[in-house]
Each structure stands twice: as structure tokens, then as C-alpha cells.
Amino acid sequence: MPQHQTPHFQSILKRGLALTLCTLRVAALAAGAACEASSGAALTPVIELYTSEGCSSCPPADQWLSGLKGKPVVAQAFHVAYWDYIGWKDRFAQPVFSSRQKDLAVQNHLSGIYTPQLLRNGRDWHDYKQVTEPQLPARARITVQRVGDTDAFEARVEPMDSHAQWTAYWTVTEDAHSSRVKAGENAGEFLKHDFVVRQYTPVGPYQGAQSLQFYALAAQPEHTRRINLVVQDRQSNDPWQALSLSCL
């Protein structure tokens, strides 16, 4: 390299170095935002849709749920298995999702279960337009981060009341799924799904601040994956806070 550089060359070199450092900072910030998240002061709404590819009334509700992308909610589509008997097996359904819906029906003092069913913060909900309304203050703080480049995740949960008892559950949801249905009530339909629950893992009970670990299903490039953690009261199951993290 020449020992002497013109002022013009030195200026170009400085601008190039500054641009490189700026690019690296932006990349670092983007990576951090993608793989770590913290909850806010207000309770994030927890939206659960109980649905099935075998139910003719469900596709409009599935489409509505897709419209929550980018909204400040934790959205989850639990596909139930009890419609499979009429000829079309929903590949996203799990018996544990049906059991969860039944347990929540008991909690809500309902006479039975149905699809599509919308629950907001664990309560049976019929006003699809008001799911993102202002919330009560959160009763816990949550931080979730991915461990390196793995499918392991760590969370820190700090209840506002250090003596309160709580439970939690993790879910993994995926977007951009589709099925061409060949039997049942939706025979001949091409269905699209977002926020599909692919993994559901309850944890607890706990008391006070705790650190949690979770191993998620591997991400698929064609399906946006979200890691969700919902912290709730041990007795009432009312959510204290919820957080969603998207990592490629």
C-alpha cells in the first residue's frame, strides 16, 4: 500500500469503513431481534382457534386468523381430531388438542365443544372484531431467546407477585400450510392455514421467577415458525403474559 494517500482517497476509505461498520451493526441488531424477544407492560392477547379441515364452517375462521399476521397477539390454530370420522383425516390434528378444548369448555361452563371455536385469553369469545382491544397490565415479564443456532430456546419468567403460583405452555406454530381436501364436508376445497400448532408442551407448576428450556421442532424454510410461551395462573388459567418469537 502506498505510504502517502491523497485526502480524497482517505475520505473514500473512511466512508467505506463507516458504511461497513454500520452494515454490521444493522445485521447484528436484525439477528438479535429475530432470535430474542421480551414482553411488554400490557398483557398480550392469547387467541386460540379450534378448527378442523373436516368442518365446512371452519375455512372462513381459518382465513380470519390469517389476518392477524403482524397484530400484537399470540395466535394459535389448534386442529382437532373429532371430525376425522367423516372421511377426511386432518393431518394437523392431535388428540391432545381436542382434550385441551374440552378442558377449556369445562372452565367456561359450556355444555359442549364446537368448531370453529374462538377463545381469547382462555375464554369463549364471539366478537372477532375485538380480539386486539387494549389489555390489562401484565402480571409477569417474559424473555425468550434461542440458544445459538440450535432449536433450543430459553425463557425467563418473572411474576409480578413472587409468591404466586403459575403454569405455562409452549407452542410451535407454522404458516403457509395448505391441503387439497378429497373427502368429508370440505371435499374439493383447497384450504390454506396459518398459525397452525405443530407442537404443544405444557410445563409447571411453578412459583416465583423461573428459567425454562424448550426444544422446538426444526424450522422449515417454507413455513414461518413461531415459538410461543403463555404464562398463566395455576388456579384460573388466566394468562399473565404471552410472548411470540420468530426464528428461521
Domains and CATH numbers, the chain: 38-246 (2.60.40.10)
> Contact at 8 Å (CB) between 67 and 185?
no
Residue 32: what pLDDT? 43
Residue 7: is its pLDDT beyond 80? no
Q: Rounded to whole angstroms, how far apart are CA atoms 237 and 225?
A: 25
Q: How big is the chain by its Cα radius of gyration, in Å?
A: 22
Alpha helices in the chain (DSSP H): 7-35, 58-66, 95-107
> Contact at 8 Å (CB) between 224 and 174?
yes
Among all chains, which residue has been given the C-alpha cell 424477544?
37
| Kind and range of the H or E run holding 79 | strand 74-79
Residue 158: is its pLDDT beyond 70? yes
Residue 133: what pLDDT? 79
Query: Mean pLDDT across the chain, nearest whole number?
Result: 88
Once rounded to an integer, what is the mean pLDDT over residues 9-31? Answer: 43
Residue 225: is its pLDDT beyond 90? yes
What is the dihedral sign for C-alpha 2, 4, 7, 10? positive
Going by pLDDT thresholds of 50, 70 and 90, the confidence category of residue 1 is very low
Sheet strand arrangement including 165-174: 123-124, 117-120, 46-51, 74-79, 196-207, 165-174, 225-233, 239-246
What is the dihedral sign for C-alpha 58, 63, 66, 71? negative
Residues of the chain above pLDDT 90, percent: 79
Instruction: Please state the length of the chain.
Output: 248
Q: Using alpha carbons, list the distances in angstroms from residue 202 to 27, 205, 206, 213, 239.
A: 34, 9, 12, 12, 13
Residue from 63, 47, 46 nearest 178 by CA: 63
- Most confident range (mean pLDDT) of 8-22, 24-38, 69-83 is 69-83
In this structure, of 49-63, 126-140, 172-186, the range with the lowest mean pLDDT score is: 126-140
**96-116 pLDDT tens trace:** 999 999 999 999 999 999 999
Residue 11: what pLDDT? 52
Residue from 241, 110, 207, 220 nearest 172 by CA: 220
pTM: 0.85
Residue 130: what pLDDT? 86
Residue 34: what pLDDT? 53
Q: Rounded to whole angstroms, how far apart are CA atoms 197 and 70?
A: 17
